[in-house]
Amino acid sequence: LKTTEALYLTRDPRGPSLEEVAPEIFATLVDHGAICRARLREEMQIEFTIEDGRLAVLDAVKVARSGRANLRIAVALAEDGVIPREEAVMRVEPRALSELLHHQVDPRGPRDVFARGIAASPGAATGKLVFSSSAAQASASSGEACILVRRETSPEDIRGMHSAAAVLTERGGMTSHAAVIARGLGLPCVVGASELRLDSKDKKLTAADGRVFREGDMVTLDGSKGEALAGAAEMLPPALDDSFRRLLSWADELRDIGIRANADTPADAETARKFEAQGIGLCRTEHMFFDEDRLIVMREMIFADTPQDRAAALARLLPMQRDDFVQLFEIMQGLPVCIRLFDPPLHEFLPQSREGLRELAEALDRPLSEVVRRAEALTEVNPMLGMRGVRLGVVLPEIYDMQVQAIFEATLESARRGAPVVPEIMIPLVSARREVEL
């Protein structure tokens, strides 16, 4: 076998191939490949030489591969009977599977990394840097993708996160606010990028190597690897192909537990149905109050001076919650929907910055000192504990009364429309039977 040209393995319009030049050697090589595949139960890279017309197989090695390739190989091996379906399902890491649902940075393209942090939520996105939730909303309204950068996020940033293509924070970990919310939204997120220096006032970001990025600069965030890249990186689309769907169908056949989704909005519920979830396991009702038109009513309820004022604010929130529940019930079509009653401490609905508190005081027509004093009184040192969940329901039962009324009214309305309904109610943070009795 003599040739001075590049030799392709199979027939190729770009040049001669081993299949054409030496069909017998090619057939023998294919046989060896099939034997390696069957006995090693894996797709292998075959290393070989050809000398004096004789084929010599040197080695068969498993090469590094992407999550997408690993899934397709596992499915192909199972379909060919090389491995059982159970093994194919177990070969695919859950994290790799979640990455297939999102855009990914193309590993073959250049990567100009300027910061690294914790990969808090998978996927990748490219957009212009913004340093505030209001800027993210403005960018979204003009049809421009943006990357929201914050020192750390708070409930006040929910609207900005909804508007952003990805989120980058200087502080935080896997259980930080940004990480938890981003995973719930399916938003690429990198947290704990502590090597960055953020200057929100001057709207600039300084990397460890001295590079400065300003608002409007184009960057890419890789939430799967925990990296921030300068410029617009090359992307791969989500890999929701036949192999992906087939693997999920096998998982459905094999599993012996039910799978429900977290869903707080109709869009979340639609996604849950698309992936054949068996219901909603957790609907966090507090997330429904962060829309701009609802947030101000929520704050009026928090600052109400009398039970009558509080009841008036809750009466305005009632139809909003009822409509949300009706939409969820109709989308889920008889699948169970577990609705968690109001859970977080009230301070999470209040601004944290001095400027935000000043704007709230103006909106409520109250003295700034009163608003600041009230916000400080409501603040919890550890927001995971303290006055929240069922404790808040015991102290302010009107909130739970409104929510339960909204659930039952939505159930009746959905039933009138002919939609089957299976509502469930969760009372959060219960530690004693007496709390439920109260």
Taking the domains of the chain in order of start, what are their residue ranges? 104-236, 257-345+380-437
Fold that domain 257-345+380-437 belongs to in CATH? TIM Barrel (3.20.20)
Residue 287 to residue 344: CA distance in whole angstroms: 10
pLDDT given at position 422: 93
Residue 23 to residue 41: CA distance in whole angstroms: 26
Over the range 20-52, which residues count as b (16 or more CB within 10 Å of their CB) and which as e? eebeebbeebeebbeebbeeeebbbebeeeeee
pTM of structure: 0.72
Q: What CATH number does the domain located at 104-236 have?
A: 3.50.30.10
pLDDT given at position 3: 62
* Nearest partner of 341 among 262, 260, 397, 295, judged by Cα: 397
Q: What's the pLDDT tens digit per position in 218-257?
A: 999 999 999 999 999 999 988 788 898 899 999 999 999 9
Residue 410 to residue 349: CA distance in whole angstroms: 25
pLDDT given at position 407: 97
pLDDT given at position 2: 64
Under-70 pLDDT residues of the chain: 1-4, 383
Q: What's the pLDDT tens digit per position in 115-124?
A: 999 999 999 9
Helices first, then strands: H and E counts in the chain: 17, 19
